[in-house]
Amino acid sequence: MKLTLKIWRQESPSAKGRLVAYPMDHVEGDMSFLELLDILNQSLIKKGEAPVAFDHDCREGICGSCGFMISGIAHGPQKLTTTCQLFMRQFKDGDTIVAEPFRSKAFPVIKDLVVDRSALDKIVQAGGFISARTGSGPDANAILIPKEKADKSMDAAACIGCGACIAACPNGSAMLFTSAKISHLGLLPQGQTERHQRALRMVSKMEELGFGACSNHGECEAVCPKGITLEFIARLNRDFLVASVVATKEAVKKV
Amino acid sequence: MTLDAKIPSGPIEKKWEKHRFDMKLVNPSNKRKYKVIVVGTGLAGGAAAASLGQLGYEVEAFCYQDSARRAHSIAAQGGINAAKNYQNDGDSIFRLFYDTVKGGDFRSREANVYRLAEVSNAIIDQCVALGVPFAREYSGYLANRSFGGAQVSRTFYARGQTGQQLLLGAYAALSREVALGSVKMYPRHEMLELVVIDGHAKGIVVRDMVTGKVSSHAADTVLLATGGYGNVFYLSTNAKGCNTTAIWRAHRKGAFFANPCYTQIHPTCIPVAGEHQSKLTLMSESLRNDGRVWVPKKAGDHRKPWEIPEDDRDYYLERKYPSYGNLAPRDISSRAAKQVCDEGRGVGPGGRGVYLDFTDSISRLGKGVIEARYGNLFEMYERITGEDPWKWPMRIYPAMHYTMGGLWVDYNLMSNLPGLHVLGEANFSDHGANRLGASALMQGLADGYFVIPYTIADYLAKVKPGTRAGVDHPAFKEAEAEVAGRMKKLLSIGGTKTVDEFHKELGQVMWEFVGMGRNEAGLKTALQKIPQIRERFWKEVLVPGSGADFNQELEKAGRVADFLEMGELLAYDALMRDESCGAHFREEHQTPDGEAMRDDEKYAYVAAWEFKGEGKAPELHKEALEFENVHLAQRSYK
């Protein structure tokens, strides 16, 4: 099939960006979206033009490197799918597809479709962990975890940190991302000790980094490639509320 | 020179304990005076950086991804082995050790493998403590599953995302250390050179991939945990960015490269769809627990799979290996698939595929059970191929997956180059000539959590604190100049072919002549072709843009340039090793029914290659392998 790609080109963080149209012939359904960009880039390089910069790595939907807006939807039209796993059979002959970087105050553009998502690491550093020194764990079967709790925890832990939820949110909120980590750890017995501090630290870091507040649009859930649900945001809200009543935020300490 | 593996004396089950006592320790108040560089933040690097930070060392960690959480360990699906024997099915440390040595076709170092099995249990404890949501039984106890190459259920898993969950555990521990300031994290930084001062590894040169800035980092010791070199084949299950540059640069600076020809082809990957293919996707080997592998008995049988009656199907793994059946080890399963496709019995477009059929399991266990076990893998398959695996059996074909070879290390995980430690897939040590399923995660975390935190002290205790050279030392300036010169050269060639075109060309040669089946004539052809491609690369490659900003083509060009050297060494090693062992299959050496035939008289050694200069033949150093606890035998999975 033939289709047109309209891609956001921006040379550097401070440069002005613009959409550039690239007609694409010989597009096959078995190509992934990123493989189509590979083909485009090969031809751009040969023509002496700059190839399109985009983040990607595993190309199997798990590393969370890839992702941009595809015709206005983070990761494109297919549900539960990262950009690298979006295949061209999802489009039809004659389509025009617009590719733009994830837009958020907390995600400055680096180049073309590449954005800086280091703010997500900072949220995790604020408290998205269990402080278990290497070697300190008891026998693994000493901690019994009901299967449904472990499964629910795993549902939340499946987050790949791609940032689509933030790009999709009209407020640029990182609530779905943060709530996934809070829920993953908060559902487990091992995560209880630091549960209050975790909620207080991660939420305050999220606000400090310029992420917006949640106003229950639900766009995040709709685009999440890993099916993280709004239920986890409810868990985060509850944890945060309880923590605000019973504790005050402390800095992460060594011992 | 003689390679001293520094294997402790004494009975195998006492070696590690004894060694831990014999090794020197670093006084707690001195630890902060030592700086440790960790390159790579996968399971090995992430776990090491976190654990060393906890111990009090000053750690700097580097990764090329935009976050430490994205290292390719994240893509491991199936599971992690441990000798817990929670299933009461006869497992033990010794059995895990034995299975791993046997699975590696008797080409690994016994003492290392025993230690690996010994610390495997602590890994599971640590991961659970960190909040890894492993699969549970309804009782709340941990669940296990079986995996290729073993007859016990010792594999712990988190759905089909075990690598992800283990990595996120290590990443969380690492994030805590970053918050505490004990680890400084450098994402989007690529190591381009190792710095050696007075024969010791004392730093690295990196490029900031956003600004293009080249800078030096000095340390008392350098840890490389940069993964494998599978992308030398272009198409592989590795992430696109996985590369050999860090270990290759270290090799050029004196670190020996061991057993490069041990490369694992994974039997259960989604077949190639067309010319545009940029990578291959693995379907977890755990699928072989419930899926049956088959092809039509007759060549050229193009009937739909459900139209082919039982009598016309060849369940070739069950037929050839009745006791292991569909769970035969990876190297054996891969070759068997290639063989039936070579006979014209392959299925799907191009005839390069075999069926992995769940029909029997679905009727025995019900769709719900299969969905719970493999639902995400079925979805992944459908997303990629556009075919519904509930209706149409999956098609699979082997693909390049994991590299058992890597930099040579001693029992302390230190290279022959003092001060350089190598962890995880980047080293050569534990898997011999073939890695068993669910063993990579075990080894990465063993190295990072439970080996290097002890063995690093043995080196550092001999380094006087405060004697570290600064980045103004001439060795750093020299290395920076080398890096800058190399990039300038790549950018100035201005040829007509893209980096990818050269990479694909190299990959085709590697796959055809140095892939699943190797022979003398083919390897000699590869050894002729690779230098030719390399020569043309340096004359004809076209790398756009500049070195002073975000330039993904320049990154790739540097990596492919190193693959073009590394690939030659791989073929060279494969030619030298005139035997078949594990994943290294020399067609000249096989039993009448096509099994690998080792030559223990001549080749029971580790081949460690020394770099002698560009265009010069590398020099072979041998570390003899001694088997005192496992009886050398021809592997049999029948």
Percent of chain A exceeding pLDDT 90 equals: 99
- The pLDDT tens digits of the residues spanning B90-110 come to 999 999 999 999 999 999 999
From the centroid of its chain, how far is CA B480? 29
Whether B436 contacts B147, CB under 8 Å: yes
Confidence at residue A233, expressed as pLDDT on a 0 to 100 scale: 98
Burial-class residue B492 by CB neighbours within 10 Å (0-12, 13-18, 19+). Answer: exposed
CB contact under 8 A, B239 and A58: yes
The label of the residue with tokens 């407020």 reads A171
CATH C-level class of B265-400: alpha beta
Every domain of chain A and the residues it spans: 3-111, 117-246
Q: Across the strands, what pairs with B194? A: B204
**Mutate which of A33, A40, A58 to disrupt the B interface (most B C-beta within 10 Å)?**
A58
Residue of B330, B345, B577, B598 with catalytic role: B330
- The pLDDT tens digits of the residues spanning B291-335 come to 999 999 999 999 999 999 999 999 999 999 998 899 888 888 999
Predicted complex: ipTM over 0.95: yes
Q: Check pLDDT > 80 for residue B149.
A: no
Please state, in angstroms and rounded to a whole number, the distance separating the CA atoms of residues B105 and B606: 13
From the centroid of its chain, how far is CA B86? 28
Compute the average pLDDT of residues A48-63.
Answer: 97
Q: Check pLDDT > 90 for residue B411.
A: yes
The number of C-alpha atoms within 13 Å of B532 and in the hemisphere containing its C-beta is 8
Please state, in angstroms and rounded to a whole number, the distance separating the CA atoms of residues B407 and B209: 25
Number of C-beta neighbours around residue B597 at 10 A: 15
Structure tokens at B467: 């004697």
CB contact under 8 A, A143 and B128: yes
CATH number of this structure's domain A117-246: 1.10.1060.10
Q: How far is B22 from chain A (nearest CA, A)?
A: 20
Supply the DSSP symbol for A87. B
- The pLDDT tens digits of the residues spanning A138-159 come to 999 999 999 999 999 999 999 9
CB contact under 8 A, B274 and A28: yes
CB contact under 8 A, B384 and A31: no
Please state, in angstroms and rounded to a whole number, the distance separating the CA atoms of residues A58 and A77: 21
In Å, how far are B15, B56, B413 from B458, measured between CA atoms? 16, 16, 11
- The pLDDT tens digits of the residues spanning B555-569 come to 999 999 999 999 999
Phi, psi torsion values for B124, nearest 5 degrees: -65, -45
Residues 6+ apart with CB under 8 A from B357: B291, B292, B293, B294, B305, B393, B394
Give the containing element (helix H, strand E) for A18.
strand A18-24
Confidence at residue B595, expressed as pLDDT on a 0 to 100 scale: 83
Whether B399 contacts A59, CB under 8 Å: no
Residues 6+ apart with CB under 8 A from A128: A178, A181, A182, A185, A198, A202, B172, B175
Compute the average pLDDT of residues B601-605.
Answer: 97
Query: If pLDDT is split at 50, 70 and 90, which confidence band does B601 have?
Result: very high
**A58 to chain B: which residues are within 8 Å by CB?**
70, 72, 74-75, 239-240
Task: Give rounded-to-5 percent helix, strand, coil for chain A.
Answer: 40, 15, 50
CATH C-level class of A3-111: alpha beta
**A1 to chain B: which residues are within 8 Å by CB?**
none
Confidence at residue B516, expressed as pLDDT on a 0 to 100 scale: 92
Compute the average pLDDT of residues B452-464.
Answer: 97
Compute the average pLDDT of residues B333-358.
Answer: 93
- The pLDDT tens digits of the residues spanning B220-252 come to 999 999 999 999 999 999 999 999 999 999 999
CB contact under 8 A, B545 and A78: no
Mean pLDDT over the full length of chain B: 95
CB nearest to A145's CB, from B136, B173, B279 = B136
Phi, psi torsion values for B103, nearest 5 degrees: -60, -35
Phi, psi torsion values for B25, nearest 5 degrees: -115, 155
Going by C-alpha positions, the residue among A212, A196, A205 that lies closest to residue A244 is A196
Query: If pLDDT is split at 50, 70 and 90, which confidence band does B633 have?
Result: confident
Domain B14-262+402-460 maps to which CATH number in 1.10.1750.10, 3.30.70.20, 3.50.50.60, 3.40.50.1980?
3.50.50.60
Please state, in angstroms and rounded to a whole number, the distance separating the CA atoms of residues B106 and B627: 8
Number of C-beta neighbours around residue B555 at 10 A: 21
Query: If pLDDT is split at 50, 70 and 90, which confidence band does B150 have?
Result: confident
**B135 to chain A: which residues are within 8 Å by CB?**
150
Please state, in angstroms and rounded to a whole number, the distance separating the CA atoms of residues B239 and B231: 8
Percent of chain B exceeding pLDDT 90 equals: 91
Confidence at residue A254, expressed as pLDDT on a 0 to 100 scale: 81
CATH 3.40.718.10 fits B474-624, yes or no: no
Q: Check pLDDT > 80 for residue A77.
A: yes
CB nearest to A144's CB, from B141, B161, B384 = B141
Where are the strands (E) in B140-199, listed by range?
155-156, 183-186, 189-197
Give the containing element (helix H, strand E) for B127.
helix B110-129
Structure tokens at B501: 């075109």
3-state secondary structure of A36: helix
Confidence at residue B421, expressed as pLDDT on a 0 to 100 scale: 98
Q: Check pLDDT > 80 for residue B418.
A: yes
In Å, how far are A157, A195, B132, B165, B171 from A232, measured between CA atoms? 11, 14, 18, 18, 21
Residues 6+ apart with CB under 8 A from A77: A70, A71, A86, A90
Every domain of chain B and the residues it spans: 14-262+402-460, 265-400, 474-624
Whether A233 contacts A175, CB under 8 Å: yes
Confidence at residue A255, expressed as pLDDT on a 0 to 100 scale: 64
Structure tokens at B47: 């776990």
Q: Check pLDDT > 90 for residue B153.
A: yes
Confidence at residue B373, expressed as pLDDT on a 0 to 100 scale: 84
Q: How far apart are the first and last CA of chain A?
A: 61
Structure tokens at B595: 């099994």
Going by C-alpha positions, the residue among B310, B311, B329, B307 that lies closest to residue B320 is B329
Whether B219 contacts B378, CB under 8 Å: no
CA-based nearest residue in chain B for residue A82: B383
CB contact under 8 A, B141 and A132: no
Confidence at residue A38, expressed as pLDDT on a 0 to 100 scale: 98
Q: Check pLDDT > 80 for residue A54.
A: yes
Say whether A117-246 and A3-111 share the same fold: no
Single-letter residue type at B84: K
Whether A154 contacts A211, CB under 8 Å: no
Confidence at residue B330, expressed as pLDDT on a 0 to 100 scale: 85
Give the containing element (helix H, strand E) for B536.
helix B520-540
CB contact under 8 A, A157 and B128: no
Q: How far apart are the first and last CA of chain B?
A: 42
Please state, in angstroms and rounded to a whole number, the distance separating the CA atoms of residues A113 and A118: 15
CB nearest to A39's CB, from B54, B276, B380 = B276
Please state, in angstroms and rounded to a whole number, the distance separating the CA atoms of residues B607 and B619: 10
From the centroid of its chain, how far is CA B279? 16
Whether B329 contacts B374, CB under 8 Å: no
Q: Check pLDDT > 90 for residue B147.
A: no
**B70 to chain A: which residues are within 8 Å by CB?**
57-58, 63-65, 161
Whether A113 contacts A101, CB under 8 Å: yes
Phi, psi torsion values for B437, nearest 5 degrees: -60, 145
Q: Check if B288 is active-site.
A: no
